[in-house]
Chains A and B, each alone.
Chain A
Amino acid sequence: MLPLCVSVIPWGILAGSMAIQAGLTFWQSVGMSAIVFAGAAQLVTLGMIMTGANLFAILVSVFFITSQHFIYGLTLREFVSHLKIKLRLPIGFLLTDELFALSETKNKRSELTPSYLIGAGLTFYLSWNAFSLMGIVMASSVPDLDKYHLDYSIVATFVTIVVPMVKKISTVIGVVVSLLLAMLLSYWQLEGAIVISGLCGMFSAVLASVLLNEEHS
């Protein structure tokens, strides 16, 4: 959990400062991180605002960017759908990339209780908002946050989490396919590049697993 909170730091600062740069007021910027609570969606939206895109285009893009959450929902469904609605809704709201990554690092399924998910989710939520606020405040004082390359923190964190997960050749194949396809599709500026590459990677891995006759749990 702590490493994911570490990755939230630069990411959150980036979101906060970019909101100010895109012309949002202080409260709108705070509101964005507090109400939307979605790093990638926030950053892409702000980028689109700065290039003058209309509301509809932004919503469609955000729909595709966050469509990877469909997969998170599907993956966590077995743990969450049987819970009471007052637990399901908060978990749904708090279900970010980080929370999903965290839940996937738990080897024992029994550890994924609702209190764990909500507790971890709220921790990320508080961190996200605290660091967004920092970014909002810094945007006025620190001129060029780009040169600090804060976005590398996501790469560093995700690589560190993914590497131990790669225990089978099928996983290697899935990861390589996802990586190369994500690069290609985003270069072509295809909406939903991430979710499409992720899905292709996943199915390539299953195909490889079948062809290589791997044992599957």
Chain B
Amino acid sequence: MSWILILALATTVFFNRYIFLEPNVPLKIPQIINRALKYSAPCLMTAICGPIILMEHGVVRDFPQNPYFLGTLISVIVAFYIKNIVNAVLLSMAIFYTINYLI
């Protein structure tokens, strides 16, 4: 079962990733969609974070004393002031683990 599952997963994932890169897929993109696509990165990346911040395995975390929530607020501030991405991420993670330890 599992190898079939793995191959089926890979096919599904590849299909979703490749389909719009194929020039033979006829695609006339309306102007409005073009404008919307410019926002795709920030919106999607934020959407991915949403459930992680809110829940742990489907259970809503405490609020506001929740290291994920507080950590996110601080990460936003850190990102605002520190321009170097690596340093900002490492600092955010360090602060997150500190909050985790304190709470």
Answer whether residue A142 sits at the interface, using C-beta atoms and an 8 A cutoff. Answer: no
A158–B2 touching, CB < 8 Å: no
Number of A-B contacts defined by CB within 8 Å: 261
Contact flags B35-59 to A (C-beta < 8 A → 1, else 0):
1111111111111111111110010
Contact of B60 among A72, A187, A203 (CB under 8 A): A187
Q: In the complex, which residues of chain B have a beta carbon less than 8 angstroms from the beta carbon of A7?
A: 89
Interface positions, chain B 14-32, Cβ under 8 Å from A, are 14, 16-23, 27, 29, 32
B19–A70 touching, CB < 8 Å: yes
B40–A75 touching, CB < 8 Å: yes
For chain B, the count of residues having a C-beta within 8 Å of the partner chain is 68
A59–B12 touching, CB < 8 Å: yes
Contact flags A178-207 to B (C-beta < 8 A → 1, else 0):
111111001101000111011101110110
Answer whether residue A174 sits at the interface, using C-beta atoms and an 8 A cutoff. Answer: yes
Min CB–CB distance A14 → chain B (angstroms): 12
Answer whether residue A123 sits at the interface, using C-beta atoms and an 8 A cutoff. Answer: no
Min CB–CB distance B59 → chain A (angstroms): 10
Answer whether residue B102 sits at the interface, using C-beta atoms and an 8 A cutoff. Answer: no
Contact of A88 among B3, B5, B21, B41 (CB under 8 A): B21
For chain A, the count of residues having a C-beta within 8 Å of the partner chain is 92
Q: In the complex, which residues of chain A have a beta carbon less than 8 angstroms from the beta carbon of B17?
A: 66, 69, 72-73, 92-93, 95
Q: In the complex, which residues of chain A have a beta carbon less than 8 angstroms from the beta carbon of B67?
A: 149, 152
Distance of A159 Cα from B93 Cα, bound (Å) = 12
**Main SS class of interface, A:** helix
Min CB–CB distance A63 → chain B (angstroms): 5
Min CB–CB distance A117 → chain B (angstroms): 11
Contact of B54 among A73, A178, A186 (CB under 8 A): A186
Distance of A97 Cα from B27 Cα, bound (Å) = 23
For residue B87, which residue of chain A has the nearest CB? A3
Known: A161-B45, A206-B35. A92 touches B18 (CB 8 A): yes
Contact flags A203-217 to B (C-beta < 8 A → 1, else 0):
101100100000011
B19–A37 touching, CB < 8 Å: no
Distance of A206 Cα from B9 Cα, bound (Å) = 33
Known: A82-B23, A152-B68. A36 touches B13 (CB 8 A): yes
Q: In the complex, which residues of chain B have a beta carbon less than 8 angstroms from the beta carbon of A151?
A: 52
Distance of A156 Cα from B88 Cα, bound (Å) = 8
Answer whether residue A143 sits at the interface, using C-beta atoms and an 8 A cutoff. Answer: no
A182–B50 touching, CB < 8 Å: yes
The 7 lowest CB-CB distance pairs between A and B, nearest first, are A182-B50, A73-B20, A92-B18, A201-B43, A163-B79, A186-B51, A104-B41
What are 16 A-B contacts defined by CB distance under 8 Å?
A3-B85, A38-B13, A45-B5, A45-B9, A59-B8, A73-B16, A73-B17, A73-B18, A73-B20, A92-B14, A93-B17, A155-B68, A162-B42, A178-B50, A205-B39, A206-B32
